[in-house]
Amino acid sequence: MCQKHSVPSVDGNVSQLLSIICPIDDAGVYTAAISDFAGCHVFDATDKVIMYLKERGSWLETSTYTHSYPHCWRTDTPLIYRAMPSWYIEVTKLKERMMQLNKGVNWIPDNVRDGQFGKWLEGIRDWSISRNRFWGAPVPVWKSDDPKYPRIDVYGSIKKVLPDVRALEEDFGPIDDLHRPYIDDLVRPNPDDPSGKSMMRRVPDVLDCWFESGSMPFAQVHYPFENKELFEENFPADFITEYIAQTRGWFYTLFVLSTGIFDQHPFESCICHGVILDIQGQKLSKRLNNYLDPMEVFERFGADSLRFMLLSSSVSTGGDLLLDQDGQVIRDVLKNVVKPIWNSYSFFTVYANADKIRARVLDSLDGLNNIMDKYILHECMHLVQSVLSAMESIEGHDPYDIKLACTAIVQFSDKLNNWYIRRCRERFWATEKTQDKFDAYNTLYTVLYYFSRVIAPFLPFISEAIWLGLDFQQEESVHLSDFPAPNALQVQEEHVKNAENMQLVMDICSHALSLRNIHNLRIRQPLSSMKIHVYNCAALSSLPTEYKNVILSELNIKELVMCDNVQDVAFFDLKLNFPLLGKRIPEKIKEIIPLVKAGVWEMLPSGELSLGSAKNEQYIFRADEFSMSLKVRNEYSCPIISSGQTVGIVTIDPELTKDLLLEGIARDIVRYIQQGRKQCDLDMLSLAKVCVYTCDTETYEAILKWEDFIKKQTLLSTLEYSLRDSITDAKMEGYTKVTDEKDLSIFLQG
């Protein structure tokens, strides 16, 4: 059995050419067609139906069980199936062509093509385009009210514009309003009735709103009555995006009408995004009140943070995202993406205004001497290319890979803030206006010029603020400017090599910093020396001195020693892929194992491995049949991995002399002052005085020796300090205490 008027019931009647009788009126009450229950509401009839069946001996069993039941998604009112007359589009005739056209659409994610949308097309049914409502676009069909004189008129326009389109004003005169109830007043005699008594009246239905949505591409420009050239130039659309469930809604109706009318797919690329859920995995809704107030989100985190979070998350590729009431994922974007970008802009404006320097946009890398400038400008152009490659359609890659583009933006922001600006601060802080200082300003200004244009589609508000704040004297808005050309700065091969060397330096520093952390050797504590044992890496062997100086400065090391013999600090660990070798040479496995243990092998120029010696049988192994790794012999050593390859071993000297310890203390004091400046909300130019009290002789000695260094790093003109017997109750009127160390008190005055 199946429910009356359910899909199986109606389909069964249609397939058997049986008439469909609807015994329920508009109020959900049984009509006289069901005489035993006439006048009874369907939900009140359950017990009466059971009693009726029992009285006739037709009842088998009564039981209660839990099951799903359809409810109105707005009001939670239970629903019933009810057969209604309707107007249909015979979509099944378009099925094969729609499936063909679907193959030409770039879906994101691409599994939608053969998945959600492709499967939906495989099971499509004829489309009921009419609805029994008052509001909506009226179905433009007039029908004779006398079945003895049947006639149907379908109208396609108000005025006679196209020769093959029937016009309303030809039959009814001037039209003032196409909506109900006015259009329902348009009545005329049936031309096919010789008696003149029957009338042509509009059918009461309105169009399914999805029919209107599917008509959007041509209806919005009033095609074909107007703007024919405009429409044909812009159809199909390059891009469309909506919730992934629209594979059964808007995307589908666009496809139906586009295929039926134009024999084309309606769009070239489609991003099917996912949906935000609450922390329990439920959809956000007003009824459940389980969502963050959007205005509160904008106030707390900014619209850019929300936008970038959505673009860079699984939502942009059709996945779902859990969002807690605190909006932690949005907060993370504000902290890790938006604020760093703003900080780079703020850094520039603070010092450029203080120095009264008007920077300019560079048109090439020529004339720059500092490797940091060349590096960040190369990386800026690389960012442009990366975002273009992610968003454009190129060979082997579909367009609109938004997550990849967002990743490139975040990575560049990290390089800009945590590498370039951090490493070049002293160039901006220099008291004399040297060419090197101008180069630093021009470089950062140029980077912000291009960076603001790249991030404009992803972070529209902060990019606009940067654009207007730096007064680039180009377009009045960043959103009116063109996306940058990928080689606008004329990057040459030498600049690519410079960037490769810098990446190698960054990889070395990353591994060495990890080594320091393992042994609790804080970065502010200078070390005497570090050795790099090079392994099969020509770029590292020939690394120019200026890059080595970056390593020394970044790692706070006094001396860097380059060595060739990597086996002094490491040994090679060879592992064979025995599952593969067991298939190729199973009879040789027992002979091979002792040779591996004895280390009787060598690497061939081809990348293959030769195992054995002149006295033994030699075996040649392909790259997939073995793996090789360097194992260090010393706890203060670790491998350097760059571009996926082991390029050497780094070894640090942990021994600390008194001079090194004193310098480390001085650097700690610099950190305390900078943290205090941030704590007191003071910028780099607002700090007037700093007083340091200590009861530790070693700390006092460090300040005495490194006073000039401390003042330079903190941009102080004077530094007051003294050695005391006790600092327990140390206070200073008008100053703020910013340390809680037992032997050190630092006071700031803004």
Domain co-membership, 584 together with 563: no
Instruction: Please report how the helices 697-705 and 658-679 are oriented relative to each other, as an axis angle in degrees rounded to 10.
Output: 80
Q: What is the CATH number of the domain that holds 713?
A: 3.30.2320
- Does some domain include residue 704? yes
Inform me whether the pLDDT recorded for 17 exceeds 50: no
Three state DSSP letters for 582-619: HHHCHHHHHHHHHHHHHCCEEECCCCCEEECCCCCCCE
Q: pLDDT: is 589 or 478 the higher one?
A: 478
Domain co-membership, 615 together with 741: no
- Does some domain include residue 295? no
Domain co-membership, 677 together with 728: yes
The boundaries of the domain holding residue 516 are 496-567
- Does some domain include residue 528? yes
**Rounded Cα distance, 224 and 38, in Å:** 51
Domain co-membership, 476 together with 366: yes
pLDDT in tens, 315-325: 988 888 888 88
Domain co-membership, 360 together with 396: yes
- Does some domain include residue 722? yes
Average pLDDT over residues 687-695: 84
pLDDT in tens, 506-534: 999 999 999 999 999 999 999 999 999 99
Q: How confident is the model at residue 410 (pLDDT cuts 50, 70, 90)?
A: very high
Percentages of the chain per state (helix, strand, coil), in multiples of 5 = 45, 15, 40
Average pLDDT over residues 336-342: 96
Inform me whether the pLDDT recorded for 444 exceeds 90: yes
Inform me whether the pLDDT recorded for 588 exceeds 90: no
Amino acid identity of 516? R
- Contact between 175 and 158 under an 8 Å Cβ cutoff? The reply is yes
Domain co-membership, 361 together with 403: yes
- Does some domain include residue 100? no
Q: What percent of the chain has pLDDT over 90?
A: 53
Inform me whether the pLDDT recorded for 74 exceeds 60: yes
Which pLDDT score is estimated for 2? 43
**Of 83, 101, 125, which residue constitutes the final position of a domain?**
83
As given in the structure block, the two tokens for residue 67 are 């099951």
Q: How many CB atoms lie within 10 A of CB 127?
A: 21
**Rounded Cα distance, 504 and 326, in Å:** 40
Q: How many residues are there in the chain?
A: 750
Average pLDDT over residues 349-378: 92
pLDDT in tens, 695-735: 999 999 999 999 999 998 888 888 889 888 888 777 778 78
Average pLDDT over residues 242-246: 92
Residue 695, judged by CB atoms within 10 A of its CB (0-12, 13-18, 19+), counts as middle
Q: What total of structural domains would you count in the chain?
A: 5
Which pLDDT score is estimated for 93? 95
Q: pLDDT: is 356 or 585 the higher one?
A: 356
Average pLDDT over residues 424-430: 91
List helix spans (H) across 456-486: 460-470
Which pLDDT score is estimated for 684? 66
Average pLDDT over residues 73-79: 85
Domain co-membership, 556 together with 575: no
Domain co-membership, 449 together with 507: no
Mean pLDDT score across all residues of the chain: 88
pLDDT in tens, 652-675: 999 999 999 999 999 999 999 888
Q: How confident is the model at residue 615 (pLDDT cuts 50, 70, 90)?
A: low
Cis omega (within 30 of 0) on the bond before 181?
Answer: yes
Q: What percent of the chain has pLDDT over 70?
A: 95
Domain co-membership, 439 together with 542: no
Strand, helix or coil for residue 61: coil
Domain co-membership, 54 together with 39: yes
The DSSP element (H or E) to which 304 belongs, if any, is helix 303-312
Average pLDDT over residues 617-630: 81
- Does some domain include residue 143? no
pLDDT in tens, 144-177: 999 999 999 999 988 887 787 889 998 898 888 8
Q: How many CB atoms lie within 10 A of CB 413?
A: 21
Q: How confident is the model at residue 503 (pLDDT cuts 50, 70, 90)?
A: very high
Q: How confident is the model at residue 582 (pLDDT cuts 50, 70, 90)?
A: confident
**Biggest CA-to-CA distance, the chain:** 121
Q: pLDDT: is 676 or 442 the higher one?
A: 442
Strands 206-207 and 106-108: unpaired
Q: How many CB atoms lie within 10 A of CB 666?
A: 22
**Of 56, 83, 110, which residue constitutes the final position of a domain?**
83
- Does some domain include residue 189? no
Which pLDDT score is estimated for 15? 47
List helix spans (H) across 203-273: 209-214, 216-219, 228-234, 250-262
Inform me whether the pLDDT recorded for 12 exceeds 60: no
Which pLDDT score is estimated for 92? 94
pLDDT in tens, 459-493: 999 999 999 999 887 788 999 999 999 888 888 88
**Of 567, 599, 614, which residue constitutes the final position of a domain?**
567
Domain co-membership, 397 together with 476: yes
CA angle 344/349/350 to nearest 5° reads 100
pLDDT in tens, 594-603: 877 777 777 7
Q: How confident is the model at residue 137 (pLDDT cuts 50, 70, 90)?
A: very high
- Does some domain include residue 639? no
Which pLDDT score is estimated for 394? 60
Domain co-membership, 431 together with 542: no
